[in-house]
Structure 1
Amino acid sequence: MTNRPEFFRQHNGAKAALPFAPAEYEARLSGLRAIMASQGLDAVLLTSMQNVAYYSGFLYCSFGRPYACVVTADDCVTLSAGIDAGQPWRRSVGDNITYTDWARDNYWRAAAHVIGTGKAVGYEGDHLNLQGMDKLRHFLAPNSVADIAGATMRQRMLKSAAEIEMIRHGAAVADIGGFAIRDAVAIGARELDIAMAGRDAVEREIARRFPQAEYRDTWVWFQSGLNTDGAHNPVTARKVARGDILSLNTFPMISGYYTALERTMFAGEVDAASLKYWQANLAAHELGISLIKPGATCSGITAAINEMLEAQDLLQYRSFGYGHSFGILSHYYGREAGLELREDIDTVLEPGMVVSMEPMLTIAHGAPGAGGYREHDILVVGADGAENITKYPYGPEFNVVG
């Protein structure tokens, strides 16, 4: 009978080009090991897509299976399912172990093989679920555990020069998608077809700039009329009508690094009530951009924009926070929640942080000027201020189209 291993090394082919140079991953792992030392940890079991990708370079596709990156004082080992064969080995900076489906919990046996038992183990408290914690305790029998999610998030919030360069590329690609969408807007065109024009332009440009990358998870939303009321409403087959409020949204994804462009537009013409709300949101956008600088707090920026909108009796139409961090994140994984521009976040902005400014007002259906108004720019915080790396124009002069 064929011997069926619990796990093995499937090092198929040579290592591929990763999103960053080896020195970048070495610096990240050095930072993580400093966190481990400060908490007296022998190993960490990273299970989220964002942390596995950040520290190893490998962005997994779970499909119902667990994945991990185990980091010890000496090793960085990704754990992956057999269905992926050698791809995780090729796309990670360190070692890789493939666990098999032949018996339940071979994933945990592989983790125990790397970590050992009776160790002090760090885990991600915002990702590992209750069942996973039970299995961690059973298979690893740790002498202690510690939640390292917050500490790793704080490390990710401060971007390296290489990360900022990647984000700059993403912002430029998002702009290209925006111009393609603007060219595609026409009375009678479907949201779907306009969005596809933007998506195709974005994906082609990513491939041009990064010919050795893997391409996945880029998406574009284009909404019209009532469908603009939520920031994350899916694309439909609705046809654009003259006078419609429109929302342009391009989201390039480059090796797990998300960027975004969002703009309010109108089809053919904009009525007076709509123009009033649009201009008010643009004023909030410009105020917010001016406030992003080192030493400012997320809550302080939020309070200042709130004050402006409240003075115009518009604050009740705001629907979410005014911005968030950028880096390894996505609509289905990852969020550096400690760097969101909201009332309950007091984080102080520092050089190396990258944040968006994206105010939104939503006016209910049936009211004059109904629709969702939003803009979105990306800013890199520097030593003396912040650089806006989004170049697609905002406002009615450029964005009444079709």
Structure 2
Amino acid sequence: MDRPEFYRFHQGEKTLPFAPQEYADRLSRLRADMEANGVDACVFTSMHNVAYYSGFLYCAFGRPYALVVTQTEDVTISAGIDAAQPWRRSHGDNITYTDWQRNNYWRAVRSVTGQGKAIGYEADHLTLSQRDLMNDFLAPKTTTDVAPMTMRQRMHKSDAEIALIRSCAQVADVGGYAIKDAIEVGTREIDVAMAGRDAMELEIAKRFPDAEYRDTWVWFQSGINTDGAHNPVTSRALQAGDILSLNTFPMISAYYTALERTLFVETVDDASLKIWEANVAAHELGISLLKPGVSCAEVTEQINTFLNERDLLQYRTFGYGHSFGVLSHYYGREAGLELREDIDTVLTPGMVISMEPMLTVPEGTPGSGGYREHDIMIITDDGNENITGYPYGPEFNVVT
């Protein structure tokens, strides 16, 4: 039997998150950057860049995947186990590699790039072993880390991306209301989380009937479990007076949005209320600061000053916000657009960024727990547009 190293298996109709012109525009900007940096071919290996430039969000399961972009081609490289699904979900061509012999993946990549070319790769994603294989199979004359360059492109959203993100934020609100409705004394965190997740998945299926459904999730935390923003759901039962963290994360075609809110079960004590109201005030201040021409570091400094004046800065645990787009809890991040002291990126129209101050007060201290509010802002020509609709603060979120 003649068993090929790779082949093309195309069947069905292409279905993409965006119109073909959206991907053509992204690739055009990428190719201009490639030419300016002397790169002949980019070999993208991360989920976020493969999805951003092709529409295909791969499921690795221990296998390597890629998108190869030259000045004339854009080709996803996928494993045989996926059959034609990667082609149906890719803007351009697709090559399937076989596992009849080791490293057919790199042979498939080489069939597009050729050897001895100037290769762009993602240094923040490619493992050392795969980098060595890239050098062995492609024999590049030069290599260039294109991860920073592509991150800068992804930070500026197109009209089509903003429309999708806006819809995603509305789905997050749906999950938030479902969670609030499920909260009562004795209910487990996992039961509340499932109510929010199910509501969002049903809403996504209604709004996006042609999408692939995956990765939507909820972190719902109570009591001491609120101390970390990314603490997993547990089976802890809710108690009267508990502080709660509501976190909904709808995922639509690799695009991430979030809704995060502080709540209390039935009642909130005076010490907790004081800290909660201060964090809400910091949240509102931060929203007012997000506008064109202001740097991430400048926004951070002003919120730091606000919290320090109230003797609360020591309870801050991470940056005040971050970019949105093709990312999730296990792939992607636009680290150049985060509200931190060490980020000097200047906000410009078309960026999408959150405001999410969090204070964690240790156990044994009055008002202990984690307080976090999270809204999503689109930077406009003269300020920002808040696309999060679920209310924040004590008036709405003490659940009785």
The residue number in structure 2 matching 1:213 is 211
The residue number in structure 2 matching 1:50 is 48
Percent identical = 70
- Amino acid paired to 1:52: V
Alignment of 1:255-294 (within 5 A): 255-294=253-292
- Within the candidate set 238, 243, 246, 2:244 is matched to 246
Q: Would you say the 8 A contact 1:6–1:109 is kept in 2? A: yes
Q: Which amino acid aligns with 2:153?
A: Q
In structure 1, C-alpha distance between the alignment counterparts of 2:372 and 2:264, rounded to whole Å:
12
Contact 1:352 1:380 in 2 (8 A): yes
Residue type of the partner of 2:347?
L
Question: Aligned residue for 1:6?
Answer: 5
What do the CA deviations read for 1:349-391 (whole angstroms, capped 9, x no partner)? 0000000000000011121111000000000001111000001
The 2-side partners of 1:248 and 1:142 are apart by 49
- Counterpart of 2:125 (choices 118, 124, 127) is 127
Asked whether the equivalents of residues 364 and 371 of structure 1 are also in contact (C-alpha less than 8 Å), the reply is: yes
**Once the 2 structures are TM-superposed, how far is the Cα of residue 165 of structure 1 from its aligned partner?**
0.3
One-letter identity of the residue aligned with 1:201: A
Letter in 1 for 2:384: A
Q: How much does 1:205 deviate?
A: 0.4
Q: How many residues are matched?
A: 400
Moved segments of 4+, more than 4 Å: none
SS at match of 1:337: coil
The C-alpha deviation readout for 1:287-324, integer Å capped at 9, x for no partner, is 00000000010000000000001111110000000000
Residues 96-117 of structure 1: CA deviation (Å, up to 9, x unaligned): 0000111110000001111000
Q: Secondary structure at the match of 2:245?
A: strand
Mapping of residues 53-132 of structure 1, within 5 Å? 53-132=51-130
Q: What are the superposed Cα offsets for residues 231-257 of structure 1, whole Å, 9 maximum, x if unpaired? A: 000111111000000110000000000
CA distance in 1, matches of 2:192, 2:180: 8
Distance in 1, Cα, partners of 2:387 & 2:89: 29
Q: Distance in 1 between matches of 2:293 and 2:389?
A: 25
What TM-score, normalized by structure 1, do the two folds share?
0.99
Please state how far the C-alpha of 1:41 moved relative to its aligned partner.
1.2
* 1:12–1:85 CA contact under 8 A, matched in 2: no
Residue 309 of structure 1 is matched in structure 2 by: 307
Give yes or no for contact 1:263–1:376 (8 Å, CA) kept in 2: yes
Alignment of structure 1 residues 218-237 onto 2, 5 Å: 218-237=216-235
Between the aligned partners of 1:165 and 1:274, the Cα distance in structure 2 is: 37
SS at match of 2:336: helix
SS in 2 for 1:122: strand
Structure 2 gaps of 5+ residues are none
- For residues 366 and 205 of structure 1, the distance between their equivalents in structure 2, rounded to whole angstroms, comes to 41
Amino acid at match of 1:253: M
Deviation (angstroms), 1:13: 2.1
Superposition RMSD on alpha carbons, in Å? 0.6
Q: Deviations over 1:58-82 (max 9, x none)?
A: 0000011100000001100000001
- Residue 14 of structure 1 deviates from its aligned partner by 2.4
The alpha carbon displacement at 1:134 in A equals 0.8
Give the alignment of 1:24-35 within 5 angstroms. 24-35=22-33
Amino acid at match of 2:7: F
- In structure 2, C-alpha distance between the alignment counterparts of 1:283 and 1:311, rounded to whole Å: 13
Aligned-partner residue type, residue 195 of structure 2: A
Equivalence for 1:146? 144
Distance 1:221 1:171 in 2: 16
The separation in 2 between residues aligned to 1:95 and 1:359, in whole angstroms, is: 43
Work out the CA distance in 2 between the residues paired with 1:318 and 1:336. Answer: 21
| 1:145 CA displacement | 0.9
Deviation at 1:221, TM superposition (A): 1.1
Whole-Å Cα distance in 2 between the matches of residues 135 and 72 of structure 1? 20
Q: Does the residue aligned with 1:175 lie in a helix, a strand or coil?
A: helix
What is the SS of the residue equivalent to 2:244?
strand
